[in-house]
Amino acid sequence: MRVDRFLSNLPRFNRKQVRLLLVERRVTVDGAVVSDPHHEVRAFSRVCVGDEVLQAGKPARYFMLHKPQGCVSATSDPQHPTVLDWLDEPDKDELHIAGRLDFNTTGLMVITNDGQWSRRLTQPHTKLPKVYLVETEQTIGAEYAETFVKGLYFAFEDLTTQPAELEVLGPTTARLSIIEGRYHQVKRMFGHFDNKVIGLHRERMGPLELDAALAPGEYRALTDDEIRQV
Ligand code: URA
């Protein structure tokens, strides 16, 4: 939310007072003076007027997990282990998953409490590629790449998928780069050719690459650099 709106939503300031506070440079967000009324205030931001704290803010948290097979991309599940079960962190109920993976898909899973940041990573309009290693039951045909670039019509959503890039690595293995994350998207794309996906592993989401030092089930916090790149 814009800082001017944040302040004028408080019962104590009217709009004129908010304008004055900003002009007089009395407002700080995360320790820095803010005079631009459009400046974004987030749930994590610490907002002060002079010495007075109006919103304490919370630390934003960002993790990458090497998702193993056999767990669901949900924060809770009555039957199966979830990806959050692999994290030894406090207040896990505040975390969410940026881009789900199927039960048996492995690889890069990003978990955070920062919704604005995770939307940038996952929403198709930001065009950040999600890169998968795919193993199929049948041979991957030469025609697949052209079809994937053109896009495939998904009747259920009534949409055509955005151009995807296929690099064939072997008769039944390929690297696929997509910029959306439609339900079972990769499986449905190969399903168009009646070719079943028997192994799926996410290597990358935009600038974030799965850390090769992480074994399945291991995780680490993202570095400041990784967070900034998204
Ligand atoms: N596409 C799929 O079909 N499954 C996944 O887990 C991810 C992308």
| Collapsed DSSP state (helix, strand, coil) of residue 84 | helix
Share of the chain above pLDDT 70, in %: 100
- CATH of residue 165's domain is 3.30.2350.10
**pLDDT score recorded for residue 30:** 84
- Same domain, yes or no, for 36 and 80? no
- Same domain, yes or no, for 22 and 107? no
- For residue 199, give both structure tokens: 């192994």
Judge whether residue 42 has pLDDT over 90.
no
229 in any annotated domain: no
Give Cβ neighbours of residue 62 (< 8 Å, ≥ 6 apart).
Answer: 110, 111, 112, 114, 117, 221, 222, 226, 227
H or E segment to which residue 8 belongs:
helix 3-8
Distance 217 CA to ligand 1 centre (A): 18
Encode pLDDT of 69-114 as tens digits: 999 998 889 999 999 999 999 989 889 999 999 999 999 999 999 8
- CATH of residue 50's domain is 3.10.290.10
Determine how many CB atoms are found less than 10 A away from the CB of residue 101. Answer: 23
Mutate to test the pocket of ligand 1, among 186, 201, 205, 210 (most ligand atoms within 8 A of CB): 186
CA separation for the pair 75, 14 (Å, rounded): 40
- For residue 74, give both structure tokens: 């949900």
230 in any annotated domain: no
Residues touching ligand 1 (Cβ under 6 Å) are: 101-102, 105, 184-187, 200
pLDDT band at residue 58 using 50, 70 and 90 as cut-offs? confident
Residue whose C-alpha is closest to residue 101's, from 125, 131, 124, 71:
71
pLDDT band at residue 175 using 50, 70 and 90 as cut-offs? very high
pLDDT band at residue 116 using 50, 70 and 90 as cut-offs? confident
- 130 Cα nearest atom in ligand 1: 8
- Same domain, yes or no, for 37 and 86? no
| Closest protein CA for atom 7 of ligand 1 | 101
- Same domain, yes or no, for 67 and 36? no
Judge whether residue 59 has pLDDT over 90.
no
Whole domain around residue 36: which residue ranges?
A: 3-55
- 73 Cα nearest atom in ligand 1: 6
- Same domain, yes or no, for 185 and 113? yes
Distance 213 CA to ligand 1 centre (A): 23
| Closest protein CA for atom 4 of ligand 1 | 184
CA separation for the pair 173, 147 (Å, rounded): 17
Judge whether residue 13 has pLDDT over 90.
yes
The overall average pLDDT reported for the chain is 94
Give the number of domains in the chain: 2
Where among 30, 55, 80 does a domain terminate?
Answer: 55
Distance 181 CA to ligand 1 centre (A): 8
Judge whether residue 67 has pLDDT over 90.
yes
- Same domain, yes or no, for 85 and 190? yes
Distance 222 CA to ligand 1 centre (A): 23
Q: What are phi and psi of 206, to 5 degrees?
A: 55, -125
- Same domain, yes or no, for 137 and 159? yes
Residue tagged 């919103």 (tokens): 55
- Same domain, yes or no, for 78 and 136? yes
Residues that are catalytic: 102
109 in any annotated domain: yes
CA separation for the pair 169, 174 (Å, rounded): 5
Q: Are 3 and 47 in contact (CB under 8 A)?
A: yes
Where among 55, 72, 87 does a domain terminate?
Answer: 55
Residues 171-206 as b/e (b if ≥16 CB within 10 A, e otherwise) read ebebbbbbbbbbeebbbebbeeeebebebbbbbbbb
87 in any annotated domain: yes
Encode pLDDT of 117-159 as tens digits: 999 999 888 889 999 999 999 999 999 999 999 999 999 999 9
